[in-house]
Amino acid sequence: MTADTCAGAIGRALVDAGIRHVFGVVGSGNFHLTNAMIAAGATFTAARHEGGAATMADAYARTSGAVTAVSVHQGCGYTNAITGIAEAAKSRTPLVVLAPLATAPSSNFAIDQGAIAAAVGAESVTLTDPGAAARDAARVVARAREGRRTIVLQLPLPLLDDVAPAGASAHRPGGFAAAGAGAVEPGEADLAALAALAAAIGAAKRPVFVAGRGGRAPGAREALLDLAEASGALVATSAVAAGLFHGDPWDLGISGGFSSPGAAELIRGADLIVGWGCALNMWTMRHGRLIGDRATVAQVDDTTGALGAHREIDVPVVGDVSAVARALLGRIGPRAGYRTGEVARRLAAGIGWRHTPFDDASTAERIDPRTLTLALDELLPLERVIGVDSGNFMGYPSAFLRVPDERGLCFTQAFQSIGLGLATAIGAALAQPDRLPIAALGDGGALMAAAEFETLRRLGLPMLVIVYNDDAYGAEVHHFAGEDLDTVTFPPTDIAAIARGYGLEGVTVRRPGDLDPVRAWLDGPRERALVIDAKVTSEPSWWLAEAFGH
């Protein structure tokens, strides 16, 4: 394939527009395009399944803050990636999906890829003009970055093979039709809404700020902490922004199902809760139970459709989190608020899960996941980046493993699919190579994603993979307790042996003393990832019991 084809021109344009890393599984349709991007300077990471590739790209984008691409084969490669694409779209990840398009109706690969993109909440753009293809591809990258959108870039196979007219992209205006649900463009905060929020903060005696994904934007942490100090607010985060306020003495940690009892009590005692780029959904507010009966609820978001999407809001404000917080600083006089001596003493003594007593349910054969996770938290360096899968176990690594900042936990749970955790951790690890990467998985998710153990070995990532293995789909076991559970329970599986079969290190843990090989691995060269097959007890986790109402 010569360099003057549209595949070559589009590949170069994507890299020039800012895509530095592309993940994927290469087939006939995306072979030349992917190689063109590599030739133009992009790094390519091959996954073993397109679903893994899409999730790796999603996690890389979230953790690095850079727009990222996933390259797939037309038709079946694209559909294999759909779960990962849906997760990215729901999370508003700036991701470009490079999807060659079979245009011949008789092709085995011919499907309506644009309709599938729309169905999962992504936009789709189809390039049709060889003379403008490179320019339009660059515009898609800008649109994904600036609007925080997941966009499926459809590339008809005849177009990719066509010759790109010399200089055409520089002289022709180009254009494309974007289809799908996009976010409303960010706008400045309405002055009346800003005044209403200032009044609410000024009247509050016990304000709590809860920051979400929007609080991870550059400058937002500092702006929110300055405003919290002025207004006497305690600070907390949703799970996706865990670690944002790490080190601040007024930090309550995660708000919602993962909250410690002490944190939940203080949040429930607030007379004002402000969600900063935070959906305040059922998980973050425990189905509303963290909102006091007389509490005022405010929400700041740069997307109009996000305001009040999950609950009634008293004070909605459209605007950028950092800009709104800075604008409010001049309107709020210093006050003690919730930052009383009593609250200070409670926080200094510790209200997190590390300071919350529990009855250890460990047996001779199985370890309590709380005991396991707390022991690992003490053992592992704090400079870590964690990818978490979904399931009954997920609260333990999310809440019990500390993270140094908002880039320390990559939480791909918007779609609540199991099987994404390993790929999440791989993508996050590549974005932050100076940290210890940790994947926290259930046995179900680990077995779904086992093909990516080969990717882990091939890349040589020094990752610690923790598998909370209860030989079941634990969430379903506890949700349907008392019914026939044969469909969601399984014979014991030696996941450590499976890991060794892929060329990784594997160890089985049933009690704290079995963690000695982990210490040895940490002290060694870490040439291969270590998989912990942790045989855990099967009690329902606290957050799941509350979510399911039992």
Q: pLDDT tens, position by position, for the chain (550 residues)?
A: 445 899 999 999 999 999 999 999 999 999 999 999 999 999 999 999 999 999 999 999 999 999 999 999 999 999 999 999 999 999 999 999 999 999 999 899 989 999 999 999 999 999 999 999 999 999 999 999 999 999 999 999 999 999 887 764 433 444 455 554 444 334 455 888 999 999 999 999 999 999 999 999 899 999 999 999 999 999 999 999 999 999 999 999 999 999 999 999 999 999 999 999 999 999 999 999 999 999 999 999 988 889 999 999 999 999 999 999 999 998 988 899 999 999 999 999 999 999 999 999 999 999 999 999 999 999 999 999 999 999 999 999 999 999 999 999 999 999 989 999 999 999 999 999 999 999 999 999 999 999 999 999 999 999 999 999 999 998 888 888 889 999 999 999 999 999 999 999 999 999 999 999 999 999 999 999 999 999 999 888 877 777 665 4
Measure the CA–CA gap between 16 and 42, rounded to whole angstroms: 9
Residue 475: per-residue pLDDT: 87
Q: Is 41 exposed, middle or buried (0-12, 13-18, 19+ CB in 10 A)?
A: exposed
Predicted local distance difference test score (pLDDT) of residue 330: 86
Give the torsion sign (CA, 505, 510, 515, 517): negative
Instruction: Please give the mean pLDDT across all residues of the chain.
Output: 92
The pLDDT score that the predictor gives to residue 188 is 52
Q: What angle do CA 331, 266, 411 make, to 5 degrees?
A: 90
pLDDT of residue 495: 98
Q: Is 414 helix (H, G, I), strand (E, B) or coil?
A: coil
156: its two tokens: 């008809």
Using DSSP bridges, classify how beta strands 464-469 and 530-535 pair: parallel, antiparallel or unpaired.
parallel
For residue 169, what pLDDT is reported?
Answer: 45
Secondary structure E strands in 215-358: 234-237, 251-254, 272-276, 296-301, 315-318
Tokens describing residue 205: 């005696």
> Which amino acid would we find at residue 282?
M
> pTM value?
0.93
